[in-house]
Every structure is written in C-alpha cells, then in structure tokens.
Structure 1
C-alpha cells in the first residue's frame, strides 16, 4: 500500500491540503454537495477518474471524516456516499475557489460542464443585484436530473428535486444551458432548434439567464 504523502507542516492550510489536496479529492466533495450518490453516479460525474483512483479517494476522505458510506434500506439496498457535517463545511471553500478560478485568463471555456458542476456554478456566480425585484420559482430539467430554484430578491436557493408549481420550467442538457447563461447563446435560437424547452413564464426564464454574470478576468502583470 502506498504511503500517504504529507506536507509535514504545522500550518492548518497545509493540513487541509493533506486531507483534500490529492487529485480528484476536492472534486469528489463537489459531486456530493448536492446530496448523496452511489459510486456509479460519482463515476458518471468524474468520468476522467479511474475506478481505482476514485475508490482510493473515497477511502481517504472517509478516513479523514469528510465522507461517510451508508447503505440504503430495501428495496434499494445500495451503498451511497455522502458528506459528513464537517465535510459540508467545504462548500464555501469550493464556491470561493470556483469564483477565483473563473477569473483565470486561461480557463478553458469549451470544456464540458457536468450537471452538478453547472448547478453549483449558479451558487457561485449568483449576483443579488441582477435579481433585484425578482420573485420566482423554477424547475430545471437536465436529462434525468431535476432541480428546484427559488429567487427572492437578493436570495437564491437551488437544490435537487422537482418544484411544486414553478413559475417556469427549463429543459436542456447542461452544455446548452451553460451556453445560454455563460456564453451569450440566444434563447430564441435554442428554442427554435429544440435544444431548449420551456414551460410557463418566458420572461422569468429570460431573467433567470441573466443572474449569473462571470467575474472579470484577472489582470496578469
């Protein structure tokens, strides 16, 4: 068995990197921020991570008290992974790291964005000023995934699950929705092509697409 590497440094930040600094570890945490997942679900969200590496990262995170395993009762009877309360405290770290990374001039804009990554990016980029005066509920449908979102002035909440009587429903794959929000792709064109389907208040949909402006790129000197 490989010896776990450590910075052997008394700094708390260095110790944090001992816990979540291995490749894929923090992305495993990202994948669990919206709720528990089976190993196969984690593999789907992190397709570039080999099964062996993913299993190793899960074991390390479990040993550190960041992730725990739980077996669902019958008829599901499957094993899931979820964040501990302490593990969930990493959400603001990931949010801030994501916002910092979004300012990188070298960020690859054409790389695919998974469903959970896109949803978490909404939490990261939400601009309360852009939502001023908006009171609306939404359901986002991306493949088999459903998310309910509530916007109330400066407040934004989004979580996994279907919405009850939303003002608008948006159905698209994650790359298409990301293109509408972050790349300025026209909604009308996406509707004509069938890449996006909406139900309910179209004006509320158009407003939703403006709530997540990207920060200005960092100036490198």
Structure 2
C-alpha cells in the first residue's frame, strides 16, 4: 500500500463530530459495506454479492478506507473481513437512517434488498409496546446466508447461523422475504405461489411476521 493510501482523506475540514464521522465512513458505499458485515465476517465476494451496484475496485477501496479508519479488520490469511467494536457500533446509525427513510418519499421496495438489509430493517420496524413476556424464535434462509431472530423483551436480536434451529424457517431472496414480512399478501398465499418457502410451523411464521410494519412509528 502506498504512503498516500495510508493517510485518511480529509473530506470535511471541521471540528464538528458529525463531520468527523463522515470523514471516516461518509464515502459512497461505506455504510452499506458496514451493513453487509454487521452480522458476520465475510469474504470479498460475499460482501460484493450484497452490493450488486458496486465494482470490485470501489469495494477494494472502501474496505481499505474502513480498515484504516478502524471500522473493519482484515484477516489476510483467511481472506475474511470483519467489523471491529467501532464498526459494530455503527448499527444504531444504520437503524436511524432506516427510521428517517420512513418519513421521506421515494422508497422503492422493489429494488434489490440484501439479507443483512432486511434483518436490520426488521429490527427497526418491529411493532412497539409488545408485551415484554412475548417470546418467539424465527429462522431465515437466503441460500448462502442464514439467520436466527429472537424476540424477547419487546426487541429482536439477530445473529448469523449456519442452519437456523427455529420452529419455522422462511426461505427466499431478500426481496421475496421482504414481501412476506411487509407486504399485504398472506403468507400461505405467497408460499402457494412459490414466492417464499416455509419449513416448519407456517402458522407460527405468519404470527411472527405480523409483528412488523413498514411505516413510521412513534
């Protein structure tokens, strides 16, 4: 790496804390790279699969910048990229951006949705004021990625897994599963139409998905 590449580029010459944050993670694609690593370390091509509009050279540059900023760490021997503690702390920023997007026009849910993007959005769009004693465990399979989502205490906790161990597992790509989570079509009809698959208790799956609303919440 050249000497020049090792020096973080100053984008905003201000003492503002927000400007300092943007100096580190404000370039195009940077926050979305962080999004793709939020639940699990990944290799280069798997990160790129979640960002279909990015070129290999741009992704290489963003990963280098985020590594220099202390947001990402790279295991060169294994070829794996992972978030640092500082990188994982960006999750509330991504969640806040999701909430803000609900109050401005123009969102098009027909565009590409990555598995990580859907998991983060579900954490944002869970119905509020659920009874704290309500519990549930859900599984989501996207082919090369899978997650378990645990509902407890009125919140969801999501983790990447090799194979979900849950009463039901929803399967499909990000957009298909987003239709099941947020769309108006009942889950059994989506399953019958081949839009998504459900392994296990379809009634429990439908009940769980009914807890999410893609709308502004107080």
What residue number does 1:158 align with? 158
Name the SS of the counterpart of 2:62 in structure 1. Answer: helix
Tell me the TM-score normalized by structure 2.
Answer: 0.88
1:182 and 2:187 matched: no
1:57-206 equivalences in 2 (<5 Å): 57-71=62-76, 78-130=78-130, 134-161=134-161, 162-164=163-165, 166-206=166-206
Which of 23, 29, 43 does residue 24 from structure 1 map onto? 29
Name the SS of the counterpart of 1:170 in structure 2. Answer: strand
Name the SS of the counterpart of 1:195 in structure 2. Answer: coil
What residue number does 2:46 align with? 41
Cα distance, 1:61 vs structure 2: 0.9
Cα distance, 1:5 vs structure 2: 4.4
Aligned residues: 211
Say if 1:131 and 1:151, in contact at 8 Å, map to a contact too: no
Q: Deviations over 1:118-166 (max 9, x none)?
A: 11111121224357653222211122321112123513111111333x2
Say if 1:130 and 1:210, in contact at 8 Å, map to a contact too: no
Q: Distance in 2 between matches of 1:81 and 1:137?
A: 28
Q: Distance in 2 between matches of 1:140 and 1:172?
A: 8
What residue number does 1:74 align with? none
Q: CA RMSD in A?
A: 2.1
CA 1:153–1:31 in 2, change beyond 3 Å: closer, same or farther? same
Q: Distance in 1 between matches of 2:119 and 2:80?
A: 21
Cα distance, 1:215 vs structure 2: 2.5
Q: Distance in 2 between matches of 1:131 and 1:184?
A: 24
**Gapped regions of structure 2 (runs ≥ 5):** none
**Gapped regions of structure 1 (runs ≥ 5):** 72-76
